[in-house]
Each structure stands twice: as structure tokens, then as C-alpha cells.
Chains A and B, each alone.
Chain A
């Protein structure tokens, strides 16, 4: 009887070990670019169910009281040369975009390479998440307008498309998730 119990215990321990290994393998570390956007006392939660279709990652930054401060999304779109990966941080309290960063690109230096410049990315800051942005070529005429980088319309369009994708996804998250 005692031998049987020991066998069962060993079996359970084996299963436990398998589970432990599976759990360890599936736990992902939070990327540095997301961690850097949180402050002490805040926690970061991943919303895997809202990823896909160009949105490669969604995180919610929660403050000490458990309320959501921001939604961070990583997205990608085809640029002129290659895929461009971006990050969009939307402030949950204001519903406005707070930060747009380019995580990775391979655009030509003299053309789309300007995509990482603050003066270009700054054009996406403070945009209402309820709206969709529109690329224009010369000058801004409305709040939704984003002026393309001179000579790099294709690259600029890729960023606008990615940010719009994140804004649509953000609206879905706000509607469906209790933040």
C-alpha cells in the first residue's frame, strides 16, 4: 500500500515537473521598450487576445491602485524597403496618443530613414484615439492630418497605417476590457 502511494507521489511529482517546465517555457519577459515606459509601482499586463493582424503585442500598464494608466501596442507594416515595427502608447485617462516610437526599420537613409526623427514621430502625439489619422503631403489642415516626410510618402503611409491599426484596436480594448 505504502509502495503504491510512493509511486503515485512520484508520478504526481513527474507531472508537476513537466508542468513547471511548460510554465517556464511559456512565460515571456516584458520587453525593455515596454518596461522603460512604466514607473516604479506600476505593473504590466499583457493582453494576448488583442494581438494579431499586424498588432504584435498589447500591454496594459496599471498603477499602484490597479487602474490602467496606458495601453502600449506594438505593430508592424510594410515600409518601402522592409517591415517597419512601431510602438504606440495611448493614455487611458485622456484617450490620446502619448508616444509613438519606431522599434525597427530598414528604410533608405536619405529618404524613409527620417522615420525615427522626433520631429516626425511628434506629429502622432496628442491624437484622439477615437479618430483615424490621414496622411497629407504638404500641410496640416485638420487634427487628423499627418504630413509625410519629404520624399518618403510610402514610408510615412506605413507608419500612419500602423498607428491607425493601434487606434482601432485600442477602441476595441477600451470597450471590451475592464481596465
Chain B
């Protein structure tokens, strides 16, 4: 009996030792995840200001609390992203026009404003939008105060694309109206780009080619630089950009969304896809490829391309009795006003943008067609 007890004791001891060994060899518990996932809620906005420049002789600093004290409206608004994604929000905040009234102004008085976010993102709101839309300075979205990245104010312009709905508003610049300059020279973007140094630019999964805007501006040798560049994309989207911002970026000319204005240092919302037209003062750059999409093509003696007259008219080139066509290598040829409609701008077998005119001498076929301008 005693022997049996000892055996039992031995077995129990063995079991205990085995289990202790197993327990000790078990892996160490992984540290608990540290990310709480929840963004910190605003802890009050005392003293936060938004700057309004250009409205009076000096900048105006508006306390956010003052804005929130204005009469608020609550509306249901849908934002549409550049990729077409729609999101619906219920937004609450005062209308910008009511803020302007405090300074004796109205949205209708303004020719344009630029909204600036804390991260440097900015966008110009045109006179057309100012005169047709309410601009809501939202402090509450879907019944919730704005989160840390969005506060103190999110601009909401119902019926306009999400790029206008800027978060973390820090400044509103009131823009002066500038008379639109008459276009005196139209350049073909593809040919201009071919004169610049191309660099690799990785865009999502592909490595494309891009050129510095600064280099393009040097090639243009403009006598005076305007303050803004105006863009029209192939889908009709229009946007103005400050030239000092534009000049620090790149034009990606191969791959998806080309010609695409972008910069590694600019928020993605400031990129401009599929540029058809870019006007800077009295110069307009036009993409032959995008023009073919927007304006369509015509065939002249087996040459399929864009109608020259339509191309320069849409670019805003002033009427003239004669026009001077210039190639990238400096070759020039003149055509008469009535010859414009005989011309087609196409891409030849070597990939060069080229002109062809029905019933005109062969010397009017300009390879690497760079520009056209009116002459006396």
C-alpha cells in the first residue's frame, strides 16, 4: 500500500514538474497594441483665428468663436471626389456672406477668393461660384464637432467638388480682379515638353516621365510672369493656380492622367489631371492629344488630327491677318488668315506634332510644331 502511495506521489510530482516546465516554456505574451485608433476630439478652440487678406488694407484676424457666434445653417450636402466617389454629410455653420457683411462686403462684390488650409493646400474659388453658391464655414459635421485634422473650420460649398471642401481653414485671400490678357501665342505642350529634360516620376504603380515646370517657363522666356496660371482639363474641369506654386511642380507627360500637373510636395488634391489648356498671361499651352479628345479630329489627305483653326480659337488666340508657325528647331513659316481652316495638327509616324495644310506648299508642314502667333 505504501509503495502504491509513493508511486502516486512520484507520478504527481512528475506531472507537476512537467506542467511547470510547459508553463515556463510558453511564449511571452505579446505587448498589447498601443494605437488607440480614435482621434483626439477638439478640446476647445479658444483664441484660434482665421486670417482674411485682401478685404481691407491690412489683414483681418477673425477669432473662430466669433465665426461660430454668427447665425448657423444646417444643410445636407454631397461631396464628389475627383474619382467620382460621393459622400453625404449634414453640415452646420455660418455662411461666408454673413461674415463678409460684418465688414460691409458681400460675396457678389468679390472677383475670387483663395482658401488656404493649414497643410498648405489651397484652392481658388471663382467669381462664378461666389455669385451662385453659399459657402458654409462648417464647425459641426454630422452632429459632431470637427476632429483634430479638420478644425477649426471646414469650408463646404454644396454642389461643388470635394476639392473646395477644405479642412483646417487658416486663411481666406480675397483676390483682385485682373483683366484677362489676350492670348498672343499658342504653344503645343507636347513639343515644348520634348525640349526639356525628362525625369522619372513614380505615379502609383508605374514609373512615368515628367519635366519641371520651372524649366518649361524658362523655355517660354516670358517677358513678365503673371500671378496665376489657368487650367482647363479634358473633362471640362477648370482651375486657377498661383504661378509660384505651379512653377515648383512637374508636368508628367507619360502614363495615366497625363498631362498631369503634380508635385511631390503638394497635396494630391492640388494635382491637375489631363490638362488640355494652360493659360499664363498672353501665352497659352495646349495639348494636341487632349485637344483631339476634347475637340475631336478631322482627316485631311490621310492626316488625322485637330482642326488648326478650332485649336487656336479655343486657346483664345487673337485674330490676325497672318500667322507665324514655328518649329522646335527654329524653322518658321507664315500662313494667311484664310488658310487656318485648311490646317490640321496631327502626330506623325515619328511621334512629332506636325502641321499639314490642304493645297498649301509642303514647306507649311511644320514638324515638331512648337507655336503659332499672329503677325501684322
Known A12-B16, A19-B16; contact A28-B33, beta-carbon cutoff 8 A: no
Are B34 and A76 in touch, CB under 8 angstroms? yes
In the complex, how many angstroms separate the beta carbon of B266 from the nearest chain A beta carbon? 9
- We find that the number of chain A residues with CB closer than 8 angstroms to chain B is 49
Complex CA–CA separation, A9 to B14 (angstroms): 12
B16 to chain A: which residues have CB within 8 Å?
Answer: 12, 15-16, 19
Are B204 and A119 in touch, CB under 8 angstroms? yes
Are A111 and B31 in touch, CB under 8 angstroms? no
Are B83 and A110 in touch, CB under 8 angstroms? yes
Are A110 and B12 in touch, CB under 8 angstroms? no
A8 to chain B: which residues have CB within 8 Å?
Answer: 9
B199 to chain A: which residues have CB within 8 Å?
Answer: 138-139
- Tell me whether A6 is interfacial, beta carbon within 8 Å: yes
In the complex, how many angstroms separate the beta carbon of A57 from the nearest chain B beta carbon? 5
Complex CA–CA separation, A138 to B30 (angstroms): 37
A150 to chain B: which residues have CB within 8 Å?
Answer: 202-204, 262, 268
Binary contact readout A63-87 vs B (1 if CB under 8 angstroms, 0 otherwise): 0000000000000101001110100
B202 to chain A: which residues have CB within 8 Å?
Answer: 138-140, 147, 150
Are B2 and A5 in touch, CB under 8 angstroms? yes
- Tell me whether B1 is interfacial, beta carbon within 8 Å: yes
Contact of B26 among A5, A23, A138 (CB under 8 A): A23
In the complex, how many angstroms separate the beta carbon of B231 from the nearest chain A beta carbon? 18
Are B27 and A48 in touch, CB under 8 angstroms? yes
Q: Residue of A at shortest CB range from B265? A: A137
Binary contact readout A5-26 vs B (1 if CB under 8 angstroms, 0 otherwise): 1101100110110011011001
B264 to chain A: which residues have CB within 8 Å?
Answer: 137-138, 148, 153
- Tell me whether B221 is interfacial, beta carbon within 8 Å: no
- Tell me whether A41 is interfacial, beta carbon within 8 Å: no
**Complex interface residues of chain A between 150 and 179 (CB less than 8 A to chain B):** 150-153
**Complex interface residues of chain B between 5 and 54 (CB less than 8 A to chain A):** 5-6, 8-9, 12-13, 15-16, 19-20, 22-23, 26-31, 33-35, 37, 39
- Tell me whether B348 is interfacial, beta carbon within 8 Å: no
- Tell me whether B254 is interfacial, beta carbon within 8 Å: no
Are B33 and A76 in touch, CB under 8 angstroms? yes
B20 to chain A: which residues have CB within 8 Å?
Answer: 19
Contact of A9 among B9, B203, B262 (CB under 8 A): B9
Are B37 and A28 in touch, CB under 8 angstroms? no
B2 to chain A: which residues have CB within 8 Å?
Answer: 1-2, 5
- Tell me whether A32 is interfacial, beta carbon within 8 Å: no
**Complex interface residues of chain B between 236 and 274 (CB less than 8 A to chain A):** 262, 264-265, 267-268, 271
- Tell me whether B313 is interfacial, beta carbon within 8 Å: no
- Tell me whether B207 is interfacial, beta carbon within 8 Å: yes
Are A151 and B267 in touch, CB under 8 angstroms? yes
B207 to chain A: which residues have CB within 8 Å?
Answer: 139
Contact of B31 among A12, A16, A51, A148 (CB under 8 A): A51
B197 to chain A: which residues have CB within 8 Å?
Answer: none
B128 to chain A: which residues have CB within 8 Å?
Answer: none
In the complex, how many angstroms separate the beta carbon of B371 from the nearest chain A beta carbon? 29
A46 to chain B: which residues have CB within 8 Å?
Answer: 27-28
Known A2-B2, A12-B16; contact A106-B204, beta-carbon cutoff 8 A: no
B22 to chain A: which residues have CB within 8 Å?
Answer: 23, 27
- Tell me whether B205 is interfacial, beta carbon within 8 Å: yes
- Tell me whether A117 is interfacial, beta carbon within 8 Å: yes
A43 to chain B: which residues have CB within 8 Å?
Answer: none
A83 to chain B: which residues have CB within 8 Å?
Answer: 33-35, 37
Q: Residue of B at shortest CB range from A18? A: B19
Complex CA–CA separation, A82 to B37 (angstroms): 5
- Tell me whether B359 is interfacial, beta carbon within 8 Å: no
A56 to chain B: which residues have CB within 8 Å?
Answer: 30-31, 33
In the complex, how many angstroms separate the beta carbon of B287 from the nearest chain A beta carbon? 21
Contact of A51 among B30, B37, B268 (CB under 8 A): B30
In the complex, how many angstroms separate the beta carbon of B80 from the nearest chain A beta carbon? 12
Contact of B27 among A28, A52, A78, A151 (CB under 8 A): A28
In the complex, how many angstroms separate the beta carbon of A84 from the nearest chain B beta carbon? 8
Are A76 and B35 in touch, CB under 8 angstroms? yes
Are B5 and A5 in touch, CB under 8 angstroms? yes
Are A2 and B5 in touch, CB under 8 angstroms? yes
Complex CA–CA separation, A15 to B16 (angstroms): 7
In the complex, how many angstroms separate the beta carbon of A172 from the nearest chain B beta carbon? 16
Are B23 and A19 in touch, CB under 8 angstroms? yes
- Besides A9-B8, A139-B200, A139-B201, 20 other A-B contacts (C-beta < 8 A): A9-B5, A16-B19, A26-B27, A26-B29, A28-B26, A28-B29, A48-B27, A48-B28, A48-B29, A52-B31, A56-B31, A76-B33, A83-B35, A110-B83, A114-B204, A117-B204, A139-B207, A147-B202, A149-B204, A150-B204
| Top 7 A-B pairs, shortest CB-CB distance | A83-B35, A48-B28, A151-B268, A137-B264, A119-B205, A19-B19, A139-B200
Task: List, sorted by A's number, 19 A–B pairs whose CB atoms are closer than 8 Å.
Answer: A5-B2, A5-B5, A5-B9, A12-B15, A16-B15, A23-B19, A26-B26, A46-B27, A48-B30, A51-B30, A56-B30, A56-B33, A76-B35, A81-B39, A138-B199, A138-B202, A138-B210, A151-B267, A152-B268
